[in-house]
Structure 1
Amino acid sequence: MKVRKAIVGILMGVTMGLTAVVAPIPGDIGVAHAAWSQSKADKVINTGRKYMGRPYKFGASKNTTAVFDCSSFTQRVFREAIGKKLPRDSRSQSKVGTRISKSNLKKGDLIFFKASTTTSSQRITHVAIYAGNNKLLHTYGKPGVTYSTFRGTSWEKRFVTARRMM
């Protein structure tokens, strides 16, 4: 009888030990998710960075990497980096993911802009990837795919909304 109790005790101890190893501690779930999201964000930025200097062309096909418009760029980068499929145009992209405030931007978030600082219209005409450290990774006009400063610039004044895709 003592041997049986000892075996049961050992088996229960081993089972509980294995459960502790396999099951995450409740407080660590957020940490694991944050690390996973950060890793995905880094993949997005690194993928976008490899296209630096590629020319801008309005209406560029989603099937080319020779030229981009803003939304074909974000569409390509997210699909290539993390397998996330985005709609083709910036207005449609602004309706997917989770809405976030400008004060809660994280690397990898998409930021959507209106045409100018003088218009009251909130019609979205541009999308960029927040690259962290007050930088946008996007494409427009003469520079093509480039980094731009966000806060304190006309980009910030044109801000409409932001979305988290991860």
Structure 2
Amino acid sequence: MLNIFTLFIFVLTALSVFSATASTNTKQAFFNPSLVSKKTSDKPGNNDTQRLKKILDHYGEWEGVRYKFGGNSRNGIDCSAYMQRVFKDGFSFSLPRTSHEQIKLGSRVAKDDLIAGDLIFFKTSEQERHVGVYVGDGKFLHASVKVGVTVSKLDNQYWKTKYDQARRINHTET
């Protein structure tokens, strides 16, 4: 398993694909897609770096916490509660409790246009969804049933077949 420093350095390198035009005022917008120009998305933006740092710092505190369906503490946490924690602790934004409610927020984002902080949703069964947060370079953080809070690759054979959609959250909705 990657340690937090290695992951941070690796993802910072991946930030080279992010926009320099992103606003650094997180009070005005958190994941506002209108602030990221697709034409200039090949340079790192300060807001992207700050957002990623907050997400990875949070991960460093929660890495390895076991999965517990319905859990929302360090004694055990499920995927949607972990997303609530990431957004609340890192950005003071409140997300709904369930992945079924979280998927209704924000705007849909193409897999090729993901940026750090986008929510990634997977359809794990006919009625169940799993959620994680994208950190760059094809990786996302989530509370895994098997290993707890961890980082996984989108192109992992399991996740690749279960991928459903990604959502970019606007702060006015949270």
TM-score (norm 2): 0.68
- State the SS of the aligned residue for 1:136: strand
Q: Does 1:155 align with 2:159?
A: yes
| CA distance, structure 2, for counterparts of residue 77 and residue 60 of structure 1 | 15
Q: Residue 42 of structure 1 aligns with which residue?
A: 53
Return the index of the structure with the highest Cα Rg.
1
Query: 113, 131, 148: which one pairs with 2:135?
Result: 131
| Deviation of 1:82 (Å) | 0.6
| Deviation of 1:153 (Å) | 2.3
**What is the letter of the counterpart of residue 108 of structure 2?**
R
| CA distance, structure 1, for counterparts of residue 57 and residue 85 of structure 2 | 13
| Deviation of 1:46 (Å) | 2.0
Change (3 A) 1:152 1:65: closer
| Deviation of 1:160 (Å) | 1.0
User: Does 152-161 or 32-41 show the bigger shift?
Assistant: 32-41
| CA distance, structure 1, for counterparts of residue 103 and residue 81 of structure 2 | 14
Q: Residue 89 of structure 2 aligns with which residue?
A: 80
- State the SS of the aligned residue for 2:21: helix
Given that 1:57 and 1:69 are in contact with CA atoms closer than 8 Å, whether structure 2 keeps it comes out as yes
4+ aligned runs moved over 4 Å, structure 1: none
Given that 2:67 and 2:147 are in contact with CA atoms closer than 8 Å, whether structure 1 keeps it comes out as yes
Aligned CA-pair RMSD: 2.2
Number of aligned positions between the proteins: 132
| Deviation of 1:91 (Å) | 1.1
**What is the letter of the counterpart of residue 30 of structure 1?**
T
Given that 1:45 and 1:108 are in contact with CA atoms closer than 8 Å, whether structure 2 keeps it comes out as no
Identify, as 1 or 2, the structure richer in helix.
1
Q: Residue 64 of structure 2 aligns with which residue?
A: 53
| CA distance, structure 1, for counterparts of residue 59 and residue 131 of structure 2 | 13
Q: What residue ranges of structure 2 are gaps of 5+ in the alignment?
A: 1-19, 25-44
State, as a whole percentage, how many aligned pairs show the same letter.
Answer: 36
Per-residue Cα deviation, 1:63-115 (whole angstroms, up to 9, x for no partner): x2321100000101110001111000011101112221111111111100001
- State the SS of the aligned residue for 1:163: strand
Change (3 A) 1:30 1:126: same
